[in-house]
């Protein structure tokens, strides 16, 4: 099976990473992955009410930004954080974001 495109470490851009993380759903996904280590799409999707194609879209955004790494195994996709790459490129970034994310309730995020 053709592996989905994911950027080499050198091509990971800070702005893209930030943009990928600047979404409640994706931030939750990343927080989840950080404790789970690696999960397949169904599991990540399990707790949400979101359509699977929407989730697929979010998988892609994270993957193409260089935040996650996807491995195809049979008919499943295993997704994990690119911790080593991200830590090397942006030391402390992931830790501080994850720390803040778990601290801050994932409540309605928009001001009105």
Partner DNA sequence: CTAACGGTTGGATGATTGGCCAACTATCCA
Partner DNA sequence: TGGATAGTTGGCCAATCATCCAACCGTTAG
Q: Which residue ranges make up the site for a copy of itself (CB under 8 A)?
A: 7, 11, 13-16, 18-19, 21-24, 27, 64, 89-93, 95-97, 99-101, 104, 109-111
Residue 95 and residue 56 in contact, taking contact as beta carbons nearer than 8 Å: no
Among 18, 32, 34, 57, binds DNA (CB under 7 A): 57
CB contact burial 28-67 (16+ within 10 A = b; e otherwise): bbbbbbbeeeebbbeebbeeeeeeeeebeebbbbbbbbbb
Query: Cβ 100 to DNA, closest distance in Å?
Result: 19
Q: Determine if 13 is a binding residue for DNA (CB under 7 A).
A: no
Among 6, 59, 97, 98, binds DNA (CB under 7 A): 59
Q: Is 32 in the site for DNA (CB under 7 A)?
A: no
Which CB sits closer to DNA, 77 or 82?
Answer: 77
Burial class of residue 89 in the structure, from the number of CB atoms within 10 Å of its CB (0-12 exposed, 13-18 middle, 19+ buried) = middle
Q: Sheet holding 38-40: strands in order across?
A: 38-40, 76-81, 68-73
Which residues of this protein are in contact with DNA, per CB under 7 A?
1, 4, 19, 23, 25, 40-42, 45, 49-61, 70, 74-77
């Amino acid at each position: 099976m053709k592996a989905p495109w994911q950027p080499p470490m050198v091509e990971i851009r800070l702005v893209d990473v930030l943009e990928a993380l600047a979404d409640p759903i994706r931030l939750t996904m990343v927080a989840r992955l950080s404790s789970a280590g690696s999960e397949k799409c169904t599991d990540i999707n399990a707790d949400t009410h979101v359509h699977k194609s929407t989730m697929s879209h979010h998988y892609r955004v994270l993957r193409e930004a260089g935040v996650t790494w996807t491995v195809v195994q049979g008919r499943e996709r295993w997704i994990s954080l690119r911790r080593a790459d991200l830590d090397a490129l942006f030391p402390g970034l992931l830790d501080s974001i994850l720390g803040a994310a778990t601290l801050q309730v994932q409540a309605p995020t928009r001001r009105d």
